[in-house]
Amino acid sequence: MTTSHSKFKALPAQLNQNLFSPVNLYMDESGELGNHSNSSKYFLICILRADSEKALRKRLKKEKAALISAGWPKEIEIKGTSIWSSPHDPRIPRIIGERRVEIIHGVIQSILSGPVEVFYAVVNKARIHERLLRADYGIAFNYFSGQLLCKSHKYFENRNIDLVVDQRNKETHHKMKFDGYIETRMLTDCSHDHQFTIEHKESHDVAGLQAVDFLSWGLFRWYEHDDRQFLDTITRSVRFRDNWYSTK
């Protein structure tokens, strides 16, 4: 199995250069692994670096407030997929559904307007050995996550790292312990000599997870559905892409 990846130029935004403060990374996934007939063609893991979650939370709060003022039901979580499917949900005002593309663009642009960086891995499942796809879900997820983190490591190798993963991932991958695998890769393959912590949290509690969900979803739209209307906006903030056999 081989892999190729593209490197992106340094971004103009200045991230926190204080070596004593941690790098905050937020991870989410789109698509699914496995070889079922109705599963996705691609699988994507996205990592958002945002050293100031407070500032990110403030930007997201403003976008959410505008949606709620327009009539968005408070019981529905505001995510890329829920806004996209809003025309089919009678609880959501029609005006929101009609403006869904504009709204999603606004949220993504707000997320990326601060000092952030995006790292992601995309997997064309048709080119991956079937043995890996047949394995317990956690094996493949852990592997691609570890590859992405290690290949991105040079961008924050001399810093403490706090990685936050959506709680759903921990539940899905219970057969293969994510934390131990990633910690081992960071130590042995990346020679990471600084503090490294992993937390599993609910997305509605963490602005960084809410933000990376939008980015993961927007990138996945391009690979899975040939819909690039959110791609260019996100790509400007991409620092690294690990491309597993996609021709896009």
Q: So what's the pLDDT on residue 246?
A: 95
Collapsed DSSP state (helix, strand, coil) of residue 83: helix
Mean pLDDT of 21-45: 90
Per the prediction, the chain carries an average pLDDT of 89
Q: Pairing mode, if any, of strands 42-50 and 23-31? A: antiparallel
In CATH, the architecture of 22-33+41-52+118-244 is: 2-Layer Sandwich (3.30)
Instruction: State what percent of residues in the chain have pLDDT above 70.
Output: 88
Q: Which has more confidence, 237 or 5? A: 237
* Model pLDDT, residue 9: 47
Q: How much is the pLDDT for 20?
A: 63
Among candidate residues 222, 236, 166, 215, the one with its CA nearest the CA of residue 42: 222
- Statement: residue 207 has pLDDT above 80: yes
Look at residues 1, 45, 14 and name the one whose alpha carbon lies nearest to residue 151. Answer: 45
Given a cut of 90, whether residue 13 has pLDDT beyond it is: no
Domain ranges of the chain: 22-33+41-52+118-244
pLDDT at 171: 47
**150-193 confidence digits (pLDDT tens):** 999 999 888 899 999 987 654 455 546 899 999 999 999 999 98
φ and ψ of 186, to 5 deg: -65, -35
Q: From CA 246, how far away is CA 35, in angstroms rounded?
A: 17
Residue 17 has pLDDT above 60, yes or no: no
Q: What is the pLDDT of residues 112-158, one digit of tens each?
A: 999 999 999 999 999 998 888 888 778 889 999 999 999 999 998 88
Q: Are 65 and 203 in contact (CB under 8 A)?
A: no
Amino acid letter for position 235: T
pLDDT at 4: 42
Residue 6: band (very low, low, confident or very high) from pLDDT cuts 50, 70, 90 = very low
Q: Rounded mean pLDDT of 103-108?
A: 98
pLDDT of residue 133: 82
